[in-house]
């Protein structure tokens, strides 16, 4: 091609009065421009002809990876790289090897090949990541590899940049590498977060501490939601208010956080709620109340068994029936606790085989704290909240049937009513 361009342009430039040196330089520059134009044209043809063929071939395969490669532009980068490599191989036949411009052009083409090769490698790594996520969904959640992919991309581009610099500057890569060794302290400082993040990601993956889709809670970073992404340096959490919290990945190793995955995998979620009872409302049951409460389905067995024990105890110790102090009697609080326990065990939403109980905690200035403790078989947040809300609603509504009162601090309405009563009196 060079000889053809020279044979066409040399007579023209000689007629214009240009000297031999100027003609040579002009021909060289023209041949270089035509050389790059040919590469661009071939690349365009490859994109217009080769890409559709590749897409058809992939489309016929059982595994639909076409869209994954499209997302990373892997094949377009390959179609751009091939013409440059072919042009590099044909440079001696297309350009003047004895010119200085040939040497410069050769260096530029090598640098372009290095850059395009890095783009192809990074696109291929990202495609592998997408394929891994699509074909191994559960494994991808347990063992995310995005941090390793990002580390591979960093390594590819470091190598490419070194090749580009050494090629354009016409120096040996050994000199660059020795300089990097001397500047290792600076590199450690620059890439500190990446290095620490990579080590932390290995620890997270090996210990299976965090997966994509886990519900984690980390108050130090206002994070309370689902893990959406794990990268080389950070973990993204979509909070329940749809905000995004970004946590440095090494903080998950050094600081504490809550992972609710165990709750989800166990198929049960704990319900732990308390009702504060006014202790002044605790008393013995009357005969009328015993008869009325004995008709409640959930209390039938308890009332029969307990009343039989009370009668037997009082009879064995010759205690009169009207002796409230020495004798054994039923209390409204104990009966309510028995009802609550039977009610919790009757719930179809309660997880079988897990703790289900009612207990008293230490009384305080707010009254007697009665705690319900059980596990819901439904871990979906909305359903879980509805289940525990129904339990509290029912217990608060039925509490007066046992002659008990809920304790709560006086409100503004209570104080106003008291003031009105004093004024009325």
pLDDT score of 9: 54
Confidence of residue 81 (pLDDT cuts 50, 70, 90): confident
**pLDDT score of 122 more than 80:** yes
Question: Of the ranges 26-35, 41-50, 183-192, 397-406, which is most confident?
Answer: 397-406
More confident residue, 101 or 415: 415
DSSP-H helix ranges across 170-250? 173-182, 184-190, 192-207
Of 157, 144, 283, 121, which Cα lies nearest the Cα of 209?
Answer: 144
Query: Are 257 and 345 found together in one domain?
Result: no
pTM, rounded to two decimals: 0.52
Specify whether 39 is located in the same domain as 152. Answer: yes
Residue 95 lies in a domain: yes
Asked if 402 and 293 touch (Cβ cutoff 8 Å), the reply is yes
- Domain CATH code at residue 257: 2.30.30.60
Q: Find the helix or strand (DSSP H, E) in which 127 lies.
A: helix 100-135
pLDDT at 110 over 90: no
Residue 418 belongs to some domain of the structure? no
- Highest average pLDDT, of 30-34, 156-160, 321-325, 413-417, comes from 156-160
Range of lowest pLDDT (206-210, 255-259, 321-325): 321-325
Q: Is the CB of residue 44 less than 8 Å from the CB of residue 3?
A: no
In this structure, is residue 211 part of a structural domain? yes
Q: What is the predicted pLDDT for the residue at 410?
A: 81
Q: What is the mean pLDDT of residues 395-400?
A: 94
Kindly report which listed range (11-25, 120-134, 196-210, 398-412) carries the lowest average pLDDT score. Answer: 11-25
Is the backbone of residue 89 left (phi > 0), alpha (psi -120 to 50) or beta?
alpha
**Number of domains the chain is built from:** 3
| Cβ-contact 365, 278 below 8 angstroms | no
Q: Is a pLDDT exceeding 90 seen at residue 371?
A: yes
Q: Look at residue 102 and tell me whether its pLDDT is greater than 70.
A: yes
Residue 302 lies in a domain: no
In this prediction, residues 221-236 reach a mean pLDDT of 85
Confidence of residue 85 (pLDDT cuts 50, 70, 90): confident
Sorting pLDDT into bands at 50, 70 and 90, what band is 402? very high
Same domain? 87 vs 177: yes
Same domain, 278 and 257: no
For residue 395, pLDDT over 80 is answered with yes
State whether 213 and 235 are in the same domain. yes
- C-alpha triplet 340, 342, 348: angle, nearest 5°: 105
Most confident of the following: 56-65, 89-98, 267-276: 267-276
Mean pLDDT lowest among 180-189, 190-199, 236-245: 180-189
Comparing 27-41, 154-168, 240-254, the range with the smallest average pLDDT is 27-41
Q: Is the pLDDT of residue 62 over 80?
A: no
pLDDT of 218 strictly over 70: yes
Question: Residue 182 pLDDT > 70, yes or no?
Answer: no
422 lies in some domain? no
Q: Which domain holds residue 256?
A: 206-266
Look at 315 and 8; give whichever has higher pLDDT. 315
Q: Are residues 276 and 251 in the same domain?
A: no
pLDDT value for 6: 53
Residues 46 and 178 in one domain: yes
Domain presence at residue 291: no
Query: Is there a single domain that holds both residue 223 and residue 176?
Result: no
Q: Distances from the Cα of 74 to the Cαs of 66, 114, 311, in angstroms?
A: 10, 15, 86
pLDDT at 3: 56
Q: How far apart are CA 134 and CA 132, in angstroms?
A: 6
Residues 35 and 110 occupy one common structural domain: yes
Of the listed ranges 91-105, 111-125, 224-238, 330-344, the one predicted with least confidence: 91-105
Residue where one domain finishes, among candidates 241, 266, 291: 266
How confident is the prediction for the chain on average, in pLDDT? 81
Give domain status of residue 150, yes or no. Answer: yes
Kindly state whether residues 181 and 215 are assigned to the same domain.
Answer: no
Residue 18 lies in a domain: yes
Q: Please, are residues 396 and 303 in contact by the beta-carbon 8 Å criterion?
A: no
Quote the pLDDT of residue 411. 79
pLDDT in tens, 2-52: 555 555 555 555 555 565 666 666 766 777 787 788 888 888 888 788 777
Report the pLDDT value the prediction gives residue 256, as an integer from 0 to 100: 83
For residue 363, the domain's CATH number is 3.30.70.100
Residue 321 pLDDT > 80 = no
**Band (339; pLDDT cuts 50, 70, 90):** very high
pLDDT for residue 198 is more than 90: no
My answer on whether 93 and 229 are in the same domain is no
What is the average pLDDT across 324-331? Answer: 80
Q: What is the pLDDT of residue 68?
A: 61
Percentage, residues of the chain above pLDDT 90: 22
**16 and 58 inside one domain:** yes
Rounded to an integer, the average pLDDT of 223-233 is 85
| pLDDT of 162 | 83
Query: Tokens for 62?
Result: 């059982």
In this predicted structure, what is the pLDDT of residue 348? 92
């Amino acid at each position: 091609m060079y000889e053809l361009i020279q044979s066409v342009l040399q007579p023209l430039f000689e007629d214009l009065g240009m000297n031999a040196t100027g003609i040579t330089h002009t021909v060289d520059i023209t041949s270089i421009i035509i050389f790059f134009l040919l590469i661009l044209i071939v690349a365009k043809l490859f994109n217009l002809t080769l890409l559709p063929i590749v897409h058809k071939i992939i489309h016929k395969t059982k595994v639909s990876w076409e869209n994954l490669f499209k997302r990373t532009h892997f094949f377009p980068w390959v179609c751009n790289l091939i013409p440059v490599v072919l042009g590099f191989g044909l440079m001696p036949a297309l350009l003047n090897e004895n010119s200085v411009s040939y040497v410069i052009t050769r260096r530029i083409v090598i640098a372009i090949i290095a850059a395009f090769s890095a783009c192809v490698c990074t696109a291929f790594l990202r495609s592998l990541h997408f394929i891994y996520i699509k074909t191994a969904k559960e494994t991808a959640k347990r063992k995310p590899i995005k941090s390793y992919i990002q580390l591979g991309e960093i390594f590819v581009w470091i190598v490419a940049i070194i090749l580009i610099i050494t090629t354009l500057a016409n120096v040996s890569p050994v000199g660059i590498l020795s300089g990097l060794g001397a500047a290792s302290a600076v590199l450690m400082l620059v890439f500190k977060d990446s290095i620490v993040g990579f080590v932390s990601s290995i620890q997270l993956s090996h210990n299976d501490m965090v997966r994509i889709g886990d519900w984690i809670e980390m108050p130090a970073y206002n994070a309370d939601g689902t893990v959406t992404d794990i990268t080389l340096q950070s973990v993204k959490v979509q909070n329940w208010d749809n905000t995004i919290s970004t946590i440095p990945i090494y903080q998950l190793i050094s600081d504490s956080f809550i992972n609710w995955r165990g709750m989800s995998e166990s198929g049960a979620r704990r319900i732990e709620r308390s009702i504060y009872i006014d202790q002044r409302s605790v008393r013995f049951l009357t005969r009328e109340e015993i008869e009325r409460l004995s008709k409640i389905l959930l209390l039938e067995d308890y009332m029969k068994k307990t009343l039989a024990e009370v009668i037997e105890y009082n009879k064995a110790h010759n205690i009169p029936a009207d002796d409230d102090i020495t004798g054994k009697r039923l209390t409204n609080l104990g009966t309510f606790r028995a009802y609550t326990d039977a009610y919790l065990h009757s719930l179809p939403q309660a997880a079988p085989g897990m703790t289900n109980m009612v207990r008293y905690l230490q009384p305080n200035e707010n009254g007697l704290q009665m705690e319900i403790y059980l596990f819901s078989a439904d871990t979906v947040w909305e359903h879980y909240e509805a289940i525990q809300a129904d339990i509290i609603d029912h217990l608060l509504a039925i509490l007066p049937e046992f002659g008990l009162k809920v304790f709560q601090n006086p409100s503004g309405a209570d104080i106003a009513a008291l003031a009105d009563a004093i004024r009325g009196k």
